[in-house]
Amino acid sequence: MTGNELNAKLHYLGVERDLRELALKSQLIEADKLALMSTIEVCDLVIQNYQVIFCEKETIGLVKNEDIGEYLEIVKFIKR
């Protein structure tokens, strides 16, 4: 998924705010630089460091890139 694709999934302002908070708490960028970034730039930053696992209207599931192997070992997918 790209930053543009993630941006298209942001149906509520609160989700964008939470992405910005995630970027700060994960120390992906400094607060002063984050404040000047557009939504798409924030989405690009998050996508560089996280994998989108699921994306629903009000909820987006993310896993850090370094933890994706462990996640895939834990979660079992049943496909049609």
**In the structure, what pLDDT confidence band is assigned to residue 79 with cuts at 50, 70 and 90?**
confident
Q: Are 68 and 51 in contact (CB under 8 A)?
A: yes
Return the H-helix or E-strand segment holding 53. Answer: strand 50-55
Amino acid at 77: F
Q: What is the pLDDT of residues 36-77, one digit of tens each?
A: 999 999 999 999 999 999 888 788 999 999 999 999 999 988
CA distance 24 to 30: 7
Closest CA to 20 of 34, 7, 6: 34
**Position 80 in a domain:** no
Four-residue CA torsion sign, 37, 41, 44, 48 = negative
**Position 79 in a domain:** no
Q: What is the pLDDT of residues 9-34, one digit of tens each?
A: 877 767 889 999 999 999 999 999 99
* pTM strictly above 0.95: no
Total domain count for the chain?
Answer: 1
**Position 34 in a domain:** yes
Residue 36 belongs to what domain range? Answer: 3-74
